[in-house]
Structure 1
Amino acid sequence: MSGRTITHEVTPQVAQAGGKREADFTQSRAARELGLKRGAFDLAVHLGHIRTIPDEGGGGRRVARAEVDRLRAQDGFPRTLHQRVEAVGTGQGAAIMDVTGARFTRFARLGLLVPVGFYFNRYRTVVWLYLGDELRQFRADAKNASLLSRPLPEGLRDQLGGGLDLRPRNWRGRHLGFLLRQADDPWERAAAVASLLAPVQVSEIVRDPCERAHLRRFGPRLPAHGAPGSPTAHLTERIMTADSPDEVGWLRADLARMVEEARTHRPAPRPTGRHTAPAPEEHRVAPGQPERSRGLLGRLFRRGA
């Protein structure tokens, strides 16, 4: 995704063959109706500009016809909708704010600007993306005038000198908000939080393997960057995983709370039936054999009877 034009010509298709009107659209079809490329459409959904609904047939989320009609009826459509999802990199962002690229990057590292997405260039360097609208608002805010035109305060410079870089963390926070906004089920909300924690952290909070499996079932679709197991995929996993102690702490607390809420709503399913493997041949007891000869295995079997 870049700051270049991310739209295509809007070509309304409002009826099926025979004139039958559709109740709702697939997301791909809705993107075409709204003149958005799929990446821009997904961003609009994440930002809450486009509302989606669950597919009753289990085929993923869809967009109601009324929602498409609502967006198309807005003043300035499609220009205003496209502007809301304009995502730009550092160069374009710096131009929007009329600052150098270096100053723009310092703002982002300090957490004054929050990324909305990222990708990797050919050198496997992460390229952060920002909403053009938010950058314009930052520049227009009188409270930011000194930051834009004067040297940064000493305290902020000291933080940068110490290696502060809040871009990954701020992106994770924003991404979690996206996931929670789309979650329709308590287990899905818990899975959204779990997706930002390392597996060992999840295992420490959710000790029941059936519940962990249920969380994986509801786990969100992660940003796709590179083939599974590739260096780029590993870099993406690092960005996706919380690392600072305080961030890990509040995510763990949220996960524990949300899993408890999910249990109350609906316990995780468990395997049906119970199968006990037969004892090894050398430990089987012949009819009439004294109980004491069963040993430890026999005592365990007797306790479970």
Structure 2
Amino acid sequence: MSGNTVTHSVTAIVPVGPARPRVRGISLSGSRAARELGLKRGEFDLAVHMGCIRTVADDGGGGLRVTRAEIDRVSSESGFPETLRERVRVVGTSDGAALLDVTTARFTRLARLGQVAPVKFYLNRYRAVVWLYLAEEIRQFAADEENAPFLTGRTPECLRDQLDEGLDLRPRNWRGRHLGFLLRQAEDPWARAAGVASLLDPVEVAEIVRDPYERAYLNRLRPAQSAHGAPDSPAAQVAAKIMTAEYPDEIDWLRSDLRQTVAEAREHRPAPRPGPKTPSPGGAQHGAPLVRATSAVRSGEPACGAPSHLGEDPEKPRGLLGWLRRRTP
């Protein structure tokens, strides 16, 4: 189905802030930080993605960590921990419908039309996709008087036709939001390019990034995905489809931004590749090892509590941020 049927697209917050600091002083692993903040690990991860909890890079290669100062900052906020838990509370279709005071069927139609956007998903035991939404965003949607027509009465005929044709913007809106999360946590230009590439089919990536060493580096930096069954299992295939762009205009935007981010990454530094062969003391030839790249880590300003908007953009957007923010007819 053509991407021209899209009615709305989620606004994702893309980071443009200062570099994420390296670890200094006492810091905690994600699991330890979650326990100290009284959060389940899923709640903690979502809080990090949303910018509610700032992380630092671990020079030892152990992944992102949380400083003691950040733990103190978060725990000193008004209403902690209930306020923080509420910011990251997610609900499924039934609870979401209850918050809007509509039937589950109407809530599903709203989600398929892009009026409410999922923030997470998982596959149940029957390999059916279960979408999860931020409760705070749903309440804000209900409070907006402009959305009242969507909550009562018949769905407009033009929208019913799109639904009958199979329109479902939930995967696309999740991808847009997820990409914002990836870019917020990206360590450098190459990591940002890897985030964009992770949403494209490998064939699309190969057409844009011709250099095999650059493609290998992007693959090495590819963001880790949550496990959805064993590799190549039916469940993993379903999840992979959700994580891969499918609409023609969506693919075009990602290809354009991959081209741009890779160009920026090349200017930042070249991708590591084998160096020239040099004779060893014993006369044997050995290729130089791949250079380990190190760079400052970038992060954005906290975006916690800033929900996605379904607003209008009077001009044609440019670049990745524009794609994430635009509203198409």
Q: Give the structure-2-normalised TM-score.
A: 0.76
Q: Take 2:101 and 2:49, find their aligned partners in 1: how far apart are those partners?
A: 28
Letter in 2 for 1:164: L
Return 5+ residue gaps in structure 1 as ranges.
1-20, 276-305
Aligned to 1:253, which of 256, 274, 291?
Answer: 256
Q: For 1:246-300, what per-residue CA distance to the aligned partner results, in whole angstroms no more than 9, with x for missing partners?
A: 111000000000000000000011112249xxxxxxxxxxxxxxxxxxxxxxxxx
Higher-RCO chain (CA-CA 8 Å, sequence separation at least 6): 2
Aligned to 2:208, which of 205, 208, 232?
Answer: 205
Q: For 1:1-25, what per-residue CA distance to the aligned partner results, in whole angstroms no more than 9, with x for missing partners?
A: xxxxxxxxxxxxxxxxxxxx96111
* Equivalent residue, structure 2, for 1:243: 246
Aligned-residue Cα RMSD (Å) equals: 1.3
* Equivalent residue, structure 1, for 2:63: 60
Q: Which structure 1 residue ranges, 4+ long, deviate > 2 Å from structure 2?
A: none
- 1:85-164 aligned at under 5 Å gives the runs 85-164=88-167
- 1:1-305 aligned at under 5 Å gives the runs 23-274=26-277
Describe the SS at the equivalent of 1:170.
helix
Q: For 1:230-255, what per-residue CA distance to the aligned partner results, in whole angstroms no more than 9, with x for missing partners?
A: 11011110000011111110000000
Structure 1 residue 216, shift from structure 2 partner: 1.1
Letter in 2 for 1:203: A
Letter in 1 for 2:54: R
Count residues in correspondence. Answer: 255
Task: Looking at secondary structure, tell me which structure has more helix per residue.
Answer: 1
Describe the SS at the equivalent of 2:275.
coil
Q: Take 1:98 and 1:241, find their aligned partners in 2: how far apart are those partners?
A: 33
Structure 1 residue 223, shift from structure 2 partner: 2.0
Q: Take 2:253 and 2:231, find their aligned partners in 1: how far apart are those partners?
A: 29
Q: Give the structure-1-normalised TM-score.
A: 0.82
Letter in 1 for 2:213: C
Letter in 2 for 1:36: L
* Equivalent residue, structure 2, for 1:13: none
Q: Take 2:101 and 2:187, find their aligned partners in 1: how far apart are those partners?
A: 41
Q: Which is further off, 101-110 or 44-53?
A: 44-53
Structure 1 residue 158, shift from structure 2 partner: 1.7
Letter in 2 for 1:124: R
Structure 1 residue 218, shift from structure 2 partner: 1.0
Q: Take 2:126 and 2:271, find their aligned partners in 1: how far apart are those partners?
A: 43
Return 5+ residue gaps in structure 2 as ranges.
1-23, 279-329
Q: Which is higher, the Rg of structure 1 or of structure 2? A: 1
Q: For 1:47-96, what per-residue CA distance to the aligned partner results, in whole angstroms no more than 9, with x for missing partners?
A: 11111111121110011111111110011110000001111110111011
